Structure 1
């Protein structure tokens, strides 16, 4: 970054480095890469941490929460395959970054955040970025959003100890959910769940470490 604070050129170069890093980690879907290229990560970072906007580390965003490193966000989005779907449900809005990425690929994004102040900040960031196809709500989220179900895609941005059945029931036939399942203190398994009529097919895709997403605490992207 340039002396005296980051500028537009610095961010452009840093974003190009992010795309290269994602490719090296096996993220090859051009639509996902385009979303990361066109959504400015720096818009979703608190001012005091702007110099670290493109480092692969989590950063505080308030309410005891943090924004997850972009590469981990990509690990969750790649198996979700949200491009071109009608409705996506995200549980855990946080800074609003992952919802903004989803909004570049899906027609409508519903996102639920437990903390009202984070939800308001995310809304302001989407407006600043000119993103208009996100509907943000305040709740704990793990019960889903039955009034808008079914959803073609569901993304959980924090870990759960077990698959939340009430939430998964809100998947449309052929729909996909992605979440991290496991104990809060350990690495969790990234699980992809596809609904086929009344059956749910689970695939384990690797490990990640996310803080728990629960009625008492929300870990967000």
Structure 2
């Protein structure tokens, strides 16, 4: 496989058509070696338009390239930003964030995935990204507040405790809802108790572990 050609095709055929046109994001996807974050058994799938399995659980995946790229573009990360990611997975998204931000703290519940992601990030020379093996559903209030919070997976709803860990002007991105149709959701904190929410695009993604599912019981 010609990796550079496959990477070029991924960007031009999958990512650009999904309205990812930010030059900085497109440049990053050319530079950060996605294939180095894919398990050896799935190397051939590194640039395919699909979620790539990472572990034994069905929800342990590396999100499709176009989804990661669109989330990154929506967050508009700046060099001065302090970032929290929940759901490290392979570490690829943390690497992309690390290239844009001043620091990234990434939380991963699965110990094996956390260790592998840390190794992947070290191999890629990312010195401003920290991976922590912990339940990320409550965030990391002690290290906050954060300018950017990314949930790298889906949730039924965004916990209020995470919103409270945003700075004024801070942005949180997540994929919210239930199948068959979830929405990419971007929440911006405008004042201490005021948040603006947009839902710019549709996307299904596996659930993040540790987040509560609202009761379906109704009177």
Normalising by structure 2, we get a TM-score of 0.91
1:176 Cα deviation (Å)?
0.6
Q: Distance in 2 between matches of 1:63 and 1:117?
A: 11
Q: Distance in 2 between matches of 1:116 and 1:214?
A: 13
Does the 8 Å CA contact 2:154/2:205 hold for their aligned counterparts?
yes
Q: Distance in 1 between matches of 2:34 and 2:139?
A: 27
- Tell me which residue corresponds to 1:62: 55
Q: Distance in 2 between matches of 1:202 and 1:107?
A: 25
Does the 8 Å CA contact 1:63/1:115 hold for their aligned counterparts?
no
- Tell me which residue corresponds to 2:147: 152
Does the 8 Å CA contact 2:175/2:183 hold for their aligned counterparts?
yes
Residue 185 of structure 2 corresponds to residue 191 of structure 1: yes
Deviations 1:97-132 (A, max 9, x none): 110111111110110000011000001111111111
Normalising by structure 1, we get a TM-score of 0.90
Gaps of 5+ in 2: 213-219
Does the 8 Å CA contact 1:108/1:133 hold for their aligned counterparts?
yes
1:63 Cα deviation (Å)?
3.5
The residue matched to 1:152 in structure 2 has which SS? strand
Count of residue pairs the alignment pairs up: 208
Q: Distance in 2 between matches of 1:24 and 1:151?
A: 31
Give matches, 1:23-42, under 5 Å.
Answer: 23-42=16-35
Q: Distance in 1 between matches of 2:133 and 2:205?
A: 21
The residue matched to 2:139 in structure 1 has which SS? coil
Between 49-58 and 77-86, the greater mean CA deviation after superposition: 77-86
Q: Distance in 1 between matches of 2:156 and 2:209?
A: 9
Gaps of 5+ in 1: 2-9
The residue matched to 2:6 in structure 1 has which SS? helix
